Structure 1
Amino acid sequence: MGTALPVADARQVRRYARAVVRRHPRALAVALGLHALAAVAGLVAPRLLGDLVEAISAGTTSLTVDRIALAIAGFVVVQAVLTRFAYFASARLGERVLAELREEFVDRVLAIPLSTVERAGTGDLLTRTSRDVGALSQTIRFAAPDTLIALVMMVFVAGALVLVGPLLALPALLAVPSLFLVTRWYLRRAPAGYLRENAAYSDMIDGINEAVEGSRTTEALGQQVRRRARTDTDIRRSYAAERYTLFLRTVTWPVAELSYVLPVVSTLLIGGWFHLNGWVTIGQVTAATLYAQQLIEPLDRLLSVLDELQVGGASLARLIGVAELPARPPGEPGTDARPGDDHGPDASARPGTDLGSRTGAVDARDLRYAYRPGRDVLHGVSLTVAPGERLAMVGPSGAGKSTLGRLLAGIHAPRTGVVAVGGTPLADLSPDRLRRRVALVTQEHHVFIGTLRDNLVMVRPSATDEEVREALSAVDALAWAAALPDGLDTVVGTGGHPLSAAQAQQLALARLVLADPHTLVLDEATSLIDPRAARHLERSLAGVLRGRTVIAIAHRLFSAHDADRVAVVEDGRITELGPHDALVAAGGSYAALWRSWHG
């Protein structure tokens, strides 16, 4: 189970809400104003009905009755029109706020370091980008406007009730104690309950995702029972968390339902007693009872969305938690760009920081790294890769090759030591400059929904079709790309034209050619292509990437044979380093690997 991504506290949520209000003062004022006018229009009918009852009891003409009836109908129509525009204004404001939050969330998610995502697990992030965004969308579209309407109506109806007769407002207060107590009880427990429910759901999704992705490994190792037990445990935790929030609702709603019916009954009974004592008129009792009846709708609306507001609040806290996450944790590569690192006319002129230069060596000193505290997987590794050199890293599985490659690419920060390119520590580079300096390509690739051209030029939007074709040709992909139904305009990715795993890998390598970084780290980047085609592809790439520093991690030793030097990684240390022929002649670990693979 990964380390969950942070969740914003109540102070951060309130700060975000205040920021939203400051960004949209006019739209919020328009929505509130329209709701207030609609509420005022709705208050006229009960008062007119009270006047009508009073007039009839005293004796009146049919003309007076008709006039009052027409006035009531007119105000009902006005209220309906105002309510329509008020809902529209609230919905438009909600959609604008939701769009801004989604854009901010996507920007922050894309800025999260891979190391942070790996530590947290994909389930938590997937749940936030899907379930939490969906829940918050529902809250902003419906629950928030309904809450706004309910609060405005309650204020105006309560004011109208007091104006009709202060004595008649007293019976409505009988519902306050029970509503206050049950709402307080609910609100003290609901936020933590819904956060726990979302976290349990994230763990369940994470476990199911692992089970699906590793199904073949699970079957091969005979671990089906263990995986089922993990899934059952996650489901039980999620079930218990959801059952707790259901318990909160089953206590709150019945008490609330009873509470907000009390004002109507008490106003009618006590108001009648007041009338018998001559303290109020029958018209006042009628109007007050109707106003008490009107209080039920906003109260019912408020209580019905209270649960949805808690769900939305928990989701908002989780989304803001990602937004509060620093783009790079302290010590991670790309955390603290030095002043002027990204801007200014002399940014590329400083020694060792010119991105167009091929003169910067990759220099690693005393690298140590641990996925778990106290368990280093790299032990004081030091390595220098000359500008334009092609270095192959080989060794047994689990020796630390991929970990070392991620440190050299700036994905992870070493526990101790430093990695520098051209004399500039990776930790001093901003994320954008870091990615232009060093690029990592692994055997895991993603094909985005869009055209083949879109999938390639995403790393360099200014690339021409000719440059795109040259990049495809460099990775032996031009033939099959040209054979696609619409060529470069063919839609690929989910729902589009299917690409094989090998074609997806070639697509990733073509992106790399277009990106043109200073240093490349290839972690088994051709593993999904058959050995003969992979050898041809790597030789083609070698020609295109000549002059760039390339660090290739591979199990296929022909990559090592073609490299300038070979580094043998064993037990988190570099045990041998030198040209292929020299290491074979030395008769050490590399020679044994070569004989085993070649023979």
Structure 2
Amino acid sequence: MSTTLPIAGPGAMRAYVGVLVRRHPRLVWGALALHVLAALAGLAAPRLLGGLVESVENGTTTDHVDSIIGLLALFLILQTVVTRYARYVSQVLGEQVLAELREDFVGNALALPVGVVESAGSGDLLTRTSRDVEQLGWSVRWALPEWTIAVITAILTFAAALSVGWWVGLPCLLGIPPLVVGLRWYLARAKDGYLRESASYSAINASLTETVEGARSVEALGLGQQRIEAIDDDIRGSYTAERYTLWLRTVFFPSMELSYLIPTVATLLFGGYLYTQGQVSLGDVTTAVLYVQMLIDPVDRIVSILDELQMGAASLSRLLGVAQVPDDRTATGEVPDGEAIDAHDVRFSYVEGRDVLHGVDLSVGVGERIAMVGPSGAGKSTLGRLLAGIHPPRTGAVTVGGVGLVDLPLQDLRGHVALVTQEHHVFVGTLRENLALAAPPGATDDDIRASLDAVDALDWVDGLPEGLETVVGSGGRAVTAAQAQQIALARLVLADPHTLVLDEATSLIDPRAARHLERSLAAVLEGRTVIAIAHRLFSAHDADRVAVVEDGVIAELGSHDELVAAGGSYAALWDSWNGGR
């Protein structure tokens, strides 16, 4: 049963923005000061033109006109230069803020409990990592600086218009009701609309990812048409969500145009009336009309960019929501006394009310090799994940050295026990970089080569064109599934945990190669604890004890010989496996 990653509320967003502002006070106030100066320089033109009209009406000279034109040019140059530096500072601030936000998001995403990531699925997290980060980048780089400029310009322009005379405020007030009504109507609907739009992209990504990752199963089971229909449903949902936000814009923006035109026309008419009454001069009317007309551009940008900011706010709330996933463990500071792994009365469920483990008890001695076998769906992998500290038990406890695995910080936990599955990832980069991910600080090439030799991978690595410097991963040299598993196992050797939980770790390798690999690992892991989960029973044959998991409980526990002699479930599995080879 999948869950949805949370979305941050307005309070969390405001708090985070406040933190970002406090990190860069000089850039923030410097950018604001420069934008104010640029706006003030732009306000000189209406005053000068109004004065010019009045002087022409009263009679003027060519020199006076030339001086006015010179001042206009001077203020235009000043505005251009200051605007350039204001935008530069804003861009620097935006890039720094965006970089920090990305780093925070990556840190929060990497800190997510593995169980939460698996439950939420890859589609939602992938959409937040790609589309939401891209949308927020656009908002931070362009929308937010432009909106800030527009707000500052609008405020100063309106103040300048009022400085002409109190009467200018009356026509401006006429544009406020349609503006306020339109904004309230739009803002009440926009964020939810854009969140639904982003969620629809997550659904599409999830369907596409599942289809691609399970392409072989889809083809083998003839599920192609079913998957196409599922993706079509997701696309229809996305179309509906996007159509809704488009409808919001088509209603909102035309209504705003009306609020822009009313003040300009009203100022011209009202000012003209006052001029005929002798209460204001022609220069005042000219200046007032120019200022009110100047308001159209910043107000229009404020309203238009609100659309971008709404999308950016929706993306920010989704990115910050990742940090609101509750931790599934709380470090108590206790230090384990030894490396013995114990599970006592462990119960666990993926869906509330439906346990998949039912009161499991298991003690694993230091340096012991235990094999967990049983039919598919019996709970082997789930138990293995609890023994590796991936999931906390619903009830009961899983401890190492008497301390609960979920009571240890992740970094400390991985020094005690680590999980390796059949699903491995080779990152884009050199082979050395892929292995160094798990290496302790100061690890040398000799350490890396020793880890490869331990998992019988050194021969094929030395055969690569550039050895450890060979670029692998997407776009680099392709590695086979068996080689990818060997890389993952070599990482474990470098990480040096005391206990390893191997969940089908060698399932994709040829059985003879897998047996050889496990024998190589046995020499390297001398004195370590190994819990191997596998269908191939050669692992069980070589283990110190075998745990047979059936229906969420350990049905049998003992050595290979003991269980074969007992004639129970394991003996039947062993006979079947030997007969089918």
TM tier relative to shorter chain: over 0.9
CA deviations on 1:320-363 (whole Å, 9 max, x unpaired) are 1112223x23xxxxx22224x5xxxxxxxx6x34xxxxx52111
Matched, 1:433 2:412: yes
Equivalence map 1:439-454=2 (5 Å): 439-454=418-433
Matches of 2:519 and 2:187, distance apart in 1:
65
Matched, 1:199 2:178: no
Matched, 1:174 2:174: yes
Assess if the C-alpha contact under 8 Å between 2:182 and 2:256 holds in 1. Answer: yes
Counterpart residue type for residue 500 of structure 2: L
Equivalence map 1:133-282=2 (5 Å): 133-282=133-282
| Pairwise CA distance, 1:462 | 2.1
Matches of 1:171 and 1:127, distance apart in 2:
47
Equivalence map 1:13-162=2 (5 Å): 13-162=13-162
Counterpart residue type for residue 551 of structure 1: I
Counterpart residue type for residue 264 of structure 1: T
Matches of 1:261 and 1:100, distance apart in 2:
41
Matched, 1:595 2:568: no
Matches of 2:101 and 2:168, distance apart in 1:
45
| Pairwise CA distance, 1:82 | 0.6
Matched, 1:500 2:494: no
SS state at 2:375 partner: coil
SS state at 1:365 partner: strand
Deviates more, 1:457-466 or 1:157-166: 457-466
Assess if the C-alpha contact under 8 Å between 1:363 and 1:419 holds in 2. Answer: yes
| Pairwise CA distance, 1:518 | 1.3
| Pairwise CA distance, 1:40 | 0.2
| Pairwise CA distance, 1:570 | 1.1
| Pairwise CA distance, 1:544 | 0.2
Counterpart residue type for residue 80 of structure 1: T
CA deviations on 1:373-429 (whole Å, 9 max, x unpaired) are 121111111111110000011111111110110010011111111101111111221
Matches of 1:68 and 1:249, distance apart in 2:
43
| Pairwise CA distance, 1:204 | 2.0
Counterpart residue type for residue 416 of structure 2: R
Matches of 2:461 and 2:280, distance apart in 1:
87
Give the corresponding residue for 1:10. Answer: 10
SS state at 2:43 partner: helix
Matches of 2:490 and 2:559, distance apart in 1:
28
Matches of 2:352 and 2:271, distance apart in 1:
72
Matches of 2:570 and 2:374, distance apart in 1:
8
Equivalence map 1:581-592=2 (5 Å): 581-592=561-572
Matches of 1:211 and 1:183, distance apart in 2:
42
CA deviations on 1:118-161 (whole Å, 9 max, x unpaired) are 11111111111111111110000001001100110011100110
Matches of 1:496 and 1:260, distance apart in 2:
56
Matches of 1:159 and 1:251, distance apart in 2:
30
Assess if the C-alpha contact under 8 Å between 1:438 and 1:520 holds in 2. Answer: yes
| Pairwise CA distance, 1:223 | 3.1
Give the corresponding residue for 1:344. Answer: none
CA deviations on 1:32-78 (whole Å, 9 max, x unpaired) are 00000000000001100111111111111100000000000110010
Matched, 1:579 2:559: yes
Equivalence map 1:248-397=2 (5 Å): 248-326=248-326, 328-329=327-328, 335-339=329-333, 341=334, 352-353=336-337, 359-397=338-376
Give the corresponding residue for 1:406. Answer: 385
Matches of 1:261 and 1:547, distance apart in 2:
83
Counterpart residue type for residue 463 of structure 2: A
| Pairwise CA distance, 1:456 | 0.7
CA deviations on 1:177-213 (whole Å, 9 max, x unpaired) are 1001000111111111111211222122112211221
Unaligned runs of 5+ in 1: 330-334, 342-349, 354-358
Deviates more, 1:406-415 or 1:481-490: 481-490
1:476 to 434, 450, 456: 456
Deviates more, 1:513-522 or 1:241-250: 241-250
Give the corresponding residue for 2:530. Answer: 550
| Pairwise CA distance, 1:81 | 0.5
Give the aligned CA root-mean-square deviation in angstroms.
Answer: 1.3
Give the corresponding residue for 2:444. Answer: 464
| Pairwise CA distance, 1:221 | 2.7
| Pairwise CA distance, 1:11 | 1.2
| Pairwise CA distance, 1:261 | 2.3
Counterpart residue type for residue 397 of structure 1: S
| Pairwise CA distance, 1:227 | 2.5
Assess if the C-alpha contact under 8 Å between 2:178 and 2:258 holds in 1. Answer: no
CA deviations on 1:457-494 (whole Å, 9 max, x unpaired) are 11124211001000000111111111222211112111
Matches of 2:324 and 2:95, distance apart in 1:
22
SS state at 2:175 partner: helix
Counterpart residue type for residue 530 of structure 1: D
Matches of 1:110 and 1:70, distance apart in 2:
60
Assess if the C-alpha contact under 8 Å between 2:339 and 2:416 holds in 1. Answer: no
| Pairwise CA distance, 1:450 | 1.4
Counterpart residue type for residue 160 of structure 2: A
| Pairwise CA distance, 1:259 | 1.5
Give the corresponding residue for 1:345. Answer: none
SS state at 2:358 partner: strand
CA deviations on 1:227-271 (whole Å, 9 max, x unpaired) are 233222222222111111111111100011221122222222221
Matches of 1:54 and 1:254, distance apart in 2:
36
Counterpart residue type for residue 332 of structure 2: R
Counterpart residue type for residue 318 of structure 2: R
Matches of 2:56 and 2:180, distance apart in 1:
40
Counterpart residue type for residue 578 of structure 2: H
| Pairwise CA distance, 1:216 | 2.1
Deviates more, 1:79-88 or 1:187-196: 187-196
Matches of 1:499 and 1:431, distance apart in 2:
30
User: If the length of structure 2 is used for normalisation, what is the TM-score?
Assistant: 0.97
Deviates more, 1:544-553 or 1:16-25: 16-25
| Pairwise CA distance, 1:224 | 3.3
| Pairwise CA distance, 1:104 | 0.8
SS state at 1:170 partner: helix
CA deviations on 1:73-116 (whole Å, 9 max, x unpaired) are 11001000011111111111111111111111111111111101
CA deviations on 1:6-35 (whole Å, 9 max, x unpaired) are 111111111112222222222111000000
Assess if the C-alpha contact under 8 Å between 2:161 and 2:168 holds in 1. Answer: yes
Matches of 1:237 and 1:576, distance apart in 2:
50
Matches of 1:263 and 1:84, distance apart in 2:
30
Matches of 2:324 and 2:58, distance apart in 1:
67
Identity %: 62
Deviates more, 1:437-446 or 1:163-172: 163-172
| Pairwise CA distance, 1:169 | 3.0
CA deviations on 1:260-308 (whole Å, 9 max, x unpaired) are 1222222222212221111111111111111112111101211221111
Counterpart residue type for residue 426 of structure 2: V
| Pairwise CA distance, 1:311 | 0.3
Assess if the C-alpha contact under 8 Å between 1:168 and 1:285 holds in 2. Answer: no
